[in-house]
Each structure stands twice: as C-alpha cells, then as structure tokens.
A and B are shown apart, each in its own frame.
Chain A
Amino acid sequence: MNNLDLYWGGFVTTLTTCVIALLLSFVLGFLIAIMRVSTVGWMRFISRWYVEFLRNTPLLVQVFIFYYALPTLEIDWLNFDGFQAGMLGLTFYTAAYIAENIRSGIQSVPSGQLEASRSSGLSYLQSMIFIILPQAFRIATPPLGNQFINLIKNSAVLAFFAGGDIMYVADSLQSSGAVFPVYITAGIFYLILTIPMSVFVNFLERKLAV
C-alpha cells in the first residue's frame, strides 16, 4: 500500500535521526560530564553554562534556531535541511541531560574510592577509567535509558520543518482524510522504536546490577 511506503520512509528517517543523535549526544554528554567534574576552572565554567542553556530552553526553540535562524547569517554550510537541523538540535539538547546523568553518577561514587585508588598507585586517569566510571555508569543507566527514550519521542519535532519523519508523514496524510487511524499508526511506529529500547535498558540494568 502506498501509505505504508510513506510510513516506512518516515520510520527510516526517524530511526536514522535517533541513532545518529543518540551516539553523538552520548559522546558529547560524556565529555561535558567529564568537564563538569574536572579540576580545571574554565572547563567547569563552560560545561556548567552549556547545561544551563540547553536544559532550560525548549527543544523547539533550539531546533528553530538551527533551521530558521542560522541561515540568516548567510554562511553556506550553516543552511541545514530539516533532517540535519532536527538531528543537531536533538543531539545538543539531549547531551545536556546525558551530561547531568553521568555527572551525578560520577559524584555518587564515594570520594574515598578515588583517594584509595590513587594511594594504591593508579594515576588520576587510571582511577577514573578503572574504578570510578564503571560504578558511575551502573548508577546512571536507568536515567540514561529515560533520556534515550525521550530522544526518540522528541524526534517528532522534525515534523515542524519538513523533516520527513514519522510525525511529518502522519501530518501530511491526515489532511487528506482519516485522522484517527493516521495518528494511531504513527503511535504504533514510535512504539516499535521505544519498546525495544525499554527492553534493552531493562536488560542492561539487570546485567549491571551487583
């Protein structure tokens, strides 16, 4: 069926956006978290304000800045299409939350652990990698799982600027008739993405449990 092809296209777009944004936001969020707990003043300063700005403004505003505002600077490579703008917005937005989850994970490891590993001869970096971070991630897994699921759901912002995702397909189909089945179908496609993610996070939690 023709409509199913359209949904499939939207599904692939949403999936691609989410996978890329998830990986990028995890890397960026991790870096920001490390900067937040570092001993270097300017790193703490930058990372703190990054989190404050990105976490305290609506995602829609951020994505509109990427999509509509940046092109007015008339720099060629800053003119993103809906897919790119949505992906960038999701990445930067989600990274702020991920950074906070990882930071709180790191900070909930008792400080005695770092002192103990340093006095047993490990360097600061070694202590972080082998002692602190493994414990931090165990604590951060459930909130990180929430962020990943939120990221998938938030990807519906792409529909606002012809991003071609599931929500965009549903929006364009509903204008030509049946509204109810159109959005129900869209919901089901999102569940196809979020439920496996939920199951995976639950599995991770169980696996990492002490």
Chain B
Amino acid sequence: MNMNKKMLFFALFALMLLLAACGGSGGNETGSTPADEETSDSGADGGEATGDAEGDDSEAAAEGSTLQAIKDRGKLVAGVKFDTRLFGLKNPQSGDVEGYDVDIMKLLAQHIFETDSADDVLELVQVNSKTRFELVDNGEIDLGAATATINAEREEIVDFTNVYFIAGQSLLVPEDSSITGIEDLTADTTVIAVKGSTSEKNIKEKAPDAKVDLYDDYAAAFTALRAGKGDTLTTDNAILLGMRETDPSFKLVGGLFTEEPYGIFLKDGDDEFREYVNEFLNGLKESGELDELYQKWFGEPAPENILYENEFLK
C-alpha cells in the first residue's frame, strides 16, 4: 500500500515536471520574436533602446517608429480573419481573402506606400479571436482588423483606433421560429454561442434563464443551429448576416440588444501610429470611400456617427 502511494506521488510529480517544461519552452519560443522585432525597431530610429525591458515607455516615445519600420520592410503586415463572411473570408476558389476588414487594410497599405494596388505592399496574416491580440503585442503583425469589439479589458492589452464598424448583438433563428426577441429566451430555449466571445457573456446577462451551449467557432455553432441543436444562435449582427447569406432559411430577430463597436487594434501605447490610422480613416470617410465599402459589404451607407472615438481611450 505504502509502495502504491509512493508510485502515485512520483507519477504526479513527473506529470508536473513535464507540464512545467512544456510551459517554459513555449514561453521561450514566443519570446524570441518580440526580441528580434525590438532590435530592428531600435535600429531604425537610431539606436535609442538601451537594453530596456520590452514594452515600456521609451518605445512609445520613439518618433514614427512603427510607420518607419513598415516602410523599411516594404510592406504592411495586417491581421485579418480568414473565416468570417463579409469581414475577412478566404475564397476557396481564388485563394484571395475578401471582406470589409480586408478592403480597409488594402486601402491603408496603398495610403502608406502611395500606390494604386495593395498587391505587393500588404501581407495578410490569419488571426482568430484567441490569437489576435497576442500577435500584435509580440510584433508579428503591425495591426489587425478582425471584428474586434473595443472594451476596457482589451484596452489594457492593445490600443484601438476609432470605431470603424458598429456591430450589435442579435439573434439568428429559423424562418418558422416563434422567437421574436430576447424576451422569448426562457429556461426552455437553448441559445448557441461561441466560447470566449463577448456575445457569450452578454447573453448570459440579458437572458439568465436560457440554456447556453458553447461551440469552438462560428462554423461549428452555425452547423449546430442548422442541425437543430438549439433554438437560436447569438453573436454580432454582421456575422449573423453572413450566415444568413449562406442559408436564407434563417432570419435575424430582436434588433440589436447591445452595441459593440469594432476597432482596428495595434500595439499598446503606440499613439503615433494610432493617430496615423485614425487620420487615414477620417480621410476615407470624407472622400466617400468608406460609404462605398459599406454599401459593397453590408448593402447600406455607413452610419453618420461611425468613427466616433471609443470611450475607453483615456
């Protein structure tokens, strides 16, 4: 018996060592990238960095460093989604990534390099809801436009530009559903949502009685809805509209019961670059290009108050 206990202890101990080892090497791997980026950054602006730990104020103070680094590199590296209709979706036939987010990143690249085509000056990197902020934080992407809702918690990790799309949470139901709004979600209804999304938290607050089933991503969630595994699927209106586009036997109900402003996200504390992108967005609005984009993807002109400054900035 004593022997068995000892064996158990050693087994658990070995397991913990293994886990610790895995965690450690993972950290080193991701750690190497920002370090590289750091050296090239400081090289670009005249060797200002004096061996400071990464991410402190000296970096934010460095004049035009991000923009200069992009120009030196010869291309803008932008994170977008590859799996989200209307915003960033990889076209399986052509292999191109298409959407509102992608078009804005193309225009930004053209603006930075003063070219008519973004083909050679823009690199798109696939991001998802779990990875997007980490990628911008460790410098693997310059910025990202990936259906990211601005909130106070995220504002701690990255910075957001002004709002470039006003999303709101809504409900997608089958055409013949009796659900007309959030008040119809009771203990007898099952709501489908995606793990880790803002909409998951919102629906649990707004419809506390309803059963909420969580799935890994929007594709799985929509498949579940189509297979009748729940009564309604909830997330941002724009994503739901994209789903309805693939299967018109569903409809949106209940209006918008939250307002979720999307922002382009970039490295925390990089005020210079944020201002640059904000000015670029204002330019798009004034020239009417933003309305054109809106019409192209969402079938209506942009709302008047778009590009308002997000409330979490200061």
Query: Chain A: residues with CB nearer than 8 A to chain B?
Result: 67-68, 71-72, 79, 81-82, 160-162, 168, 171-172, 174-176, 180, 184, 187, 195, 199
Classify the secondary structure of A's interface with B.
Answer: helix
Contacts of A67 in B (CB 8 A): 227, 229
**Bound complex: CA A72 to CA B214 (Å):** 21
Contacts of A79 in B (CB 8 A): 227-229
Assuming the contacts A68-B227, A162-B229, A180-B23, asked whether A171 and B195 have C-beta atoms less than 8 A apart, the reply is yes
What 10 pairs between A and B have smallest CB-CB spacing? A175-B196, A162-B213, A71-B227, A68-B227, A172-B214, A175-B195, A71-B228, A68-B223, A79-B228, A172-B195
7 contacting pairs across A/B (C-beta < 8 A): A68-B224, A82-B229, A160-B215, A161-B215, A168-B214, A171-B216, A175-B200
Contacts of A184 in B (CB 8 A): 19
Within 8 A of A (CB), among B113-144: none
Contacts of B215 in A (CB 8 A): 160-162
**Bound complex: CA A195 to CA B12 (Å):** 11
B23 A162 Cβ-Cβ under 8 A: no
Query: Chain B: residues with CB nearer than 8 A to chain A?
Result: 4, 8, 15, 19, 23, 192, 195-196, 200-201, 213-216, 220, 223-224, 227-229
The residue on A at minimum CB distance from B192 is A162
Q: How far is the CB of A35 from chain B (nearest CB, A)?
A: 33
Contacts A162-B213, A195-B8 known; 9 new A-B pairs at CB < 8 A: A67-B227, A68-B224, A68-B227, A82-B213, A160-B215, A160-B216, A160-B220, A184-B19, A187-B15
Question: Between A and B, how many residue pairs show CB distances below 8 Å?
Answer: 45
**Bound complex: CA A187 to CA B229 (Å):** 28
Contacts of A187 in B (CB 8 A): 15
**Bound complex: CA A141 to CA B94 (Å):** 55
CB < 8 Å neighbour of A162 from B196, B214, B228: B214
Q: How far is the CB of B279 from chain A (nearest CB, A)?
A: 35
Q: How far is the CB of A51 from chain B (nearest CB, A)?
A: 28
The residue on B at minimum CB distance from A184 is B19
CB < 8 Å neighbour of B229 from A161, A175, A199: A161
**Chain B CB within 10 Å — which of A67, A162, A172, A195 has the most?**
A162
Q: How far is the CB of B115 from chain A (nearest CB, A)?
A: 40
Q: How far is the CB of A174 from chain B (nearest CB, A)?
A: 8
Contacts of B214 in A (CB 8 A): 162, 168, 171-172
Contacts of B19 in A (CB 8 A): 184
Q: How far is the CB of B9 from chain A (nearest CB, A)?
A: 12
Contacts of A199 in B (CB 8 A): 4
Contacts of B229 in A (CB 8 A): 67, 71, 79, 81-82, 161-162
The residue on B at minimum CB distance from A80 is B229
Contacts of A168 in B (CB 8 A): 214
Q: How far is the CB of A43 from chain B (nearest CB, A)?
A: 35
Contacts of A82 in B (CB 8 A): 213, 229
Q: How far is the CB of A99 from chain B (nearest CB, A)?
A: 30
Contacts of A72 in B (CB 8 A): 227
**Bound complex: CA A77 to CA B196 (Å):** 32
